[in-house]
Structure formats: structure tokens, C-alpha cells
Amino acid sequence: MTPRHVVVVGGGIAGLAAAQRLRELGGPELRITVVEQAPRLGGKIRTGELAGVPVETGAETFLVRRPEAKALAETVGLGARLVHPAAAPAALVIDDELRDLPRRTVMGVPARADDVAGVLSPAGRERLEQEPVGDGPILGDEDVTVGALVRKHFGDEIVDRLVDPLLGGVYSGRADGLSVDVTVPQLAAAARRHDTLAGAVADCLPPVAGAPSAGSAAFGAAASGSASSVPPVFGSVEGGLSRLVEATATAAAAEIVLGKPVRELRRTPEGWRCVAGDTRTPRVIECDALVLATPARPAARLLADVEAAAAAELGVLDYASIALVTLALGGVELPQRSGFLVPATEGRTIKAATFFTRKWPHLARPGLSLVRVSLGRYGEEQVLQRDDAELADIAHAELSAVLGMELPRPRAVAVDRWGGGLPQYSAGHADRIRRARAALAEHPIALAGALADGVGIPACVASGRAAAEAVHATLTT
């Protein structure tokens, strides 16, 4: 029998995790090809270099409270290279002041007003304390936005000052546009059991006072480190996350085709034909099964002639664009913090900053501070229409203003843009994905990655592995 062949479309972490899991399941006999349109693997994970230091130009860290990314790093031989952030607290900018980011919340939603002291005004606090008790669970079967749920029970201020910037730190999105089922699933589940939001949040929080909850853990600027007594919440890989990409690709032992977008998928009597690359020199690849691990728009385009119903469900997913300005500054004493988040209500263009050299001990260099500033909230794309030099100037000026010091001219600057980088899971996303998967089940094509199962690296790894398992099951039956 000819060996079976699986093509993975998309060489981001989800596609590579799928390929690596397929290798585990299929052994050396299984033929695996990963086709990636870019000239490099990794998708939203890309380690660059600034002032001689390896810095992340895309994703920066992964949750280790969720096991999948850490487990993958260990499986592919990077266990000894795992690093964790320092115990530097993250801040929130309120009225141009850096205030401690409350830790006992679920994505910014507290169980008690005392847990967010310092963030709310007296009126905002009073509103939160006056939550009425309902006569049944506060959430029914339907999905709603995080903003709708929290505004209804706790008022606007907690959303605008805390929930919105935390969600912005992960999705570049707004609380009023993001699905509670997808972005804070543990809170959604608890809300279906409790008659107050306060009760639902309390149900999600760990019992230990002072310990941050997993749900409060937004990556990026808000990723606070862990006190030495508490297990780490976040991790990375010494040398950069691109090492995880490379090591996963190596472990997958797949044929890697770079620089060739898959343009067409066609059913054949035996399986599938993928056409990749430009029209003059196309690469045609025949295979038995497919994992689709691209963002939603290319996935919807590829599926339009295969399964229009699935394409339509995926095509609904919109994306936010962001720009990251990383500044290498000499002779600056940064606050002892991991960074800060800026609520949209503060009226600033920047939305967050991460103090790389404070947050990550392995990046610290004498006399050098590396700060990554992010710009671009969903719906404010005009901010990103400026050229790189203008974005760098805004980042530098607003960082100076927030820190209350005139920062020196940077020694080096990098501007990285992620157009359409972050999915905006609106209410109903999980149902749309369920329907898309049901429609694709008969083909079968497995969907993997942030287009379907969540934005974080662990979620993408889990999604890739599940897709591999589903595809492998179809090969063996």
C-alpha cells in the first residue's frame, strides 16, 4: 500500500503542532507536507533582534497554566530552555498615572469591589457593589459579548477601565465586540450557574488570596510575573519563540514547502489535490487528507468551492490589525514593572507597553532598556495608516508622557505591523465553528488554529493536535 499523505496548509504554530502530532501518531511511514505561503515558518510567532538582543516581533509569551504549549516545548527538546517572567507587577494607566493592575479578577471582572480598589471611582465602586440578585442564572444558552454581560451587572466603569484594556491586550479588540463564550469561557460557564456576576467570578477565582487567576492573565504588557512561591503563569523559550517553531518543525519531520500559498483545493477520486504557488509555476500536491491551519479569510477562500456552507461560517470572522514599536533605550531607569495597559478612555494612541528587559530576566543587559509599545485597537485602523517613523515618534512621546520622564532618543527602533493579526471572536463564534466543522466532517478536512479555537499559543497547539488526531482517525478507518 502506498504510504498515506497528509497536507497541512499553514505553517503557524497550529499547523506545525498538527504536523508534529501526526508524526507521533503515524510514525515514520506517514508522509506529511506543510505548505506555507510566507518565506518562513511561524505565522504570528517571529523572533527578531534589536540592539543585539533577541526580541519577539509577534507573540511574546505563552500561558503555562494551560499545559499544551509548555508540553510541546518539552516534547520537542526545549524543556531546559523554558524561561519565566520576573515577579514585576503590571500597571494600568488611569488619569495618566500608573496604578497596579488588580490580580484577583477574571479578565478584569472582580468578585468584590475591594479587589479592584485603585481602579474605580467612588461611583463606579458603588455601582459594582449594588448588583441586584436575579431569580435564576445570569446567562442563558445564548452567547453574548463580555461588555454586554459585565455592563449589565457591574456598570460601565469596570468595563472601560479594566476589562476592555485587558481584552485589548490579548485581542486588540473591544469588550463590546468579543464573545464571552470564547474569550472568557470559564466565566461564561459559571454565569450559567449563578444568579449574580459576583458569584460567578468568585466561582472562577483560586482560593489563595493574592494569587492571580488564569482568567486574569492577559499576555503582552499585562503578563505579570509570579511571586516565587506561586507556580509561573507564563513562559517563553530562551533565544525566542522562533526556537519553538523550529524545534516543532524538526520533530514533525515533514516536507516543508515555503513561499507558496495554496490557491486551490480540489477533490479527486482518491483524495485531494492542492495547487500552491503562482500560476506560472504551480506546485500540485496530491494527498489523502488535509489540515487547514490558516487564518479565516484564506480558509474561507479555499473552501468556497469545496463546502460553501463552511466557507460562509468562517468568512464572518473579522481581524484587528496592530503595530508594535520596540525601542532600545540607553541610560533609562524604567519602573519595576512588566509594563502597562492603557484604557481607550484615556485618550491615548498607544494601548500597551511591555518592559521587555524588566519582565524577562534573561533579556536584561547593563545600561539597556527594551520597551515594546503596541498601537491599534479594533476599529481604529486609521492610527496605523501612518508611516513607521511617525508611529515610532508617537510611541516614544506617549511613553515619555506616561512614565513622566523625557526619554532619550532610542539607540535602535523596530516597527512591526500585523495587518489582520488578531481574530475578533464575536458572539456566536463557537456555534459558527461547530457548524463549519460539521459541514467539513464528510470531506474530511480538519480546521486548526486561531481561526477556530482561540488566540493563545496553547489553544492553537491544542487545536492543531486535535486536528491531527481527527485526520489520523479518518486515515485508519
Ligand X SMILES: Cc1cc2nc3c(=O)[nH]c(=O)nc-3n(C[C@H](O)[C@H](O)[C@H](O)COP(=O)(O)OP(=O)(O)OC[C@H]3O[C@@H](n4cnc5c(N)ncnc54)[C@H](O)[C@@H]3O)c2cc1C
Residues that bind ligand X (CB under 6 A): 9-15, 35-38, 43-45, 58-62, 219-220, 261-262, 293-295, 298, 322, 324, 418, 421-422, 449-450, 455-457, 460
DSSP 37-73: SSSSSBTT--EEEETTEEEESS---EESSSSHHHHHH
> CB of 414: closest distance to ligand X in angstroms?
13
Q: How far apart, in whole angstroms, are the C-alpha atoms of residue 420 and residue 319?
A: 5
> CB of 151: closest distance to ligand X in angstroms?
26
Plot region of 126 (φ>0 → left; ψ -120 to 50 → alpha; else → beta): alpha
Which neighbouring-strand residues pair with 287?
Answer: 272
Q: How far apart, in whole angstroms, are the C-alpha atoms of residue 269 and residue 55?
A: 47
> CB of 273: closest distance to ligand X in angstroms?
14
> CB of 455: closest distance to ligand X in angstroms?
4
Q: How far apart, in whole angstroms, are the C-alpha atoms of residue 186 and residue 85?
A: 25
Among residues 13 and 120, whose Cβ is nearest to ligand X? 13
Please return the burial class of 390, using the count of CB atoms within 10 Å of its CB with bins 0-12, 13-18 and 19+.
exposed
Among residues 128 and 262, whose Cβ is nearest to ligand X? 262
Comparing C-alpha atoms, which of 80, 77, 75 is closest to residue 21? 75
Number of H helices and number of E strands within the chain?
A: 16, 22
Comparing C-alpha atoms, which of 374, 397, 399, 68 is closest to residue 222? 374
Residue 336: C-alpha distances to residues 123, 328, 355, 358 (Å): 31, 17, 9, 7
Among residues 196 and 321, whose Cβ is nearest to ligand X? 321
Please return the burial class of 284, using the count of CB atoms within 10 Å of its CB with bins 0-12, 13-18 and 19+.
exposed
Among residues 124 and 339, whose Cβ is nearest to ligand X? 339
Q: How far apart, in whole angstroms, are the C-alpha atoms of residue 197 and residue 217?
A: 19
Which neighbouring-strand residues pair with 47?
Answer: 56
Among residues 33 and 369, whose Cβ is nearest to ligand X? 33
> CB of 287: closest distance to ligand X in angstroms?
14
> CB of 41: closest distance to ligand X in angstroms?
7
Among residues 340 and 418, whose Cβ is nearest to ligand X? 418
Among residues 56 and 160, whose Cβ is nearest to ligand X? 56
> CB of 154: closest distance to ligand X in angstroms?
27
Among residues 154 and 219, whose Cβ is nearest to ligand X? 219
> CB of 234: closest distance to ligand X in angstroms?
8
Residues 6+ apart with CB under 8 A from 437: 310, 447, 452
Q: How far apart, in whole angstroms, are the C-alpha atoms of residue 439 and residue 445?
A: 9
> CB of 298: closest distance to ligand X in angstroms?
4
Q: How many CB atoms sit inside 10 A of residue 131's CB? A: 18
Among residues 12 and 108, whose Cβ is nearest to ligand X? 12
Torsion angle (degrees, nearest 10) of CA 160, 161, 163, 165: 100
